[in-house]
Amino acid sequence: MHQPRRDRMYEEHVKDPYIARGKPPEPTACPDCDAIFYKGRWRWGEAPEGARRQQCPACSRIRDRVPAAILTLSGDFFSSHREEIMKLVRHTEERETAEHPLERIMEIADPEGESQVVISYTGIHLAKGTGEALQHAYRGSFDFAYPDRDTVMHASWKR
Ligand SMILES: [Zn+2]
């Protein structure tokens, strides 16, 4: 019994601390991206009159530079089809973000040059969905593991 009960409850019911922190009274509007918290979740829409203003979990992650997931793309096939593959990555993001404002790409980097791309995400579902979409389209190998609370999910696709 080293941990207070409150923390255990938290651990059991909440996976993403940014979402827990961001559960505001309704209606609330994010001043940065215009997502609104309404009927129990963040969605796109007109901010109702008198809405409270609070940053949504995705914008908080972007501000803090704390991604929920990191997806690494690599391999010879990736290098030679990079442009086409990155189009699919963006297309997957557009579709998912239109439905789920908290699932976005934070940053796309290539610290190793042409042969590898590292994409950070505000939500794990989009990172996973992107890896699955790549595997569906091009095969290759996609690996991921669900993270523990408050850690980053690392995923990779390679071909
Ligand atoms: Zn926002």
For 95-145, the pLDDT digits (tens) are 999 999 999 999 999 988 888 999 999 999 999 999 999 999 999 999 998
Same domain, 153 and 80: yes
Same domain, 90 and 127: yes
Closest CA to 137 of 119, 118, 159: 159
Distance CA 15, CA 151 (A): 10
For 52-67, the pLDDT digits (tens) are 999 999 999 999 999 9
How close is the Cα of 32 to the center of ligand 1, in Å? 5
Same domain, 48 and 82: no
pTM equals 0.85
How close is the Cα of 92 to the center of ligand 1, in Å? 19
Same domain, 29 and 103: no
Same domain, 38 and 104: no
How close is the Cα of 75 to the center of ligand 1, in Å? 34
The domain tally of the chain equals: 2
How close is the Cα of 132 to the center of ligand 1, in Å? 26
How close is the Cα of 5 to the center of ligand 1, in Å? 31
> What residue type is assigned to position 124 of the chain?
I
Domain that residue 102 falls in: 64-158
How close is the Cα of 30 to the center of ligand 1, in Å? 5
Pairing of the two strands 141-144 and 28-29: unpaired
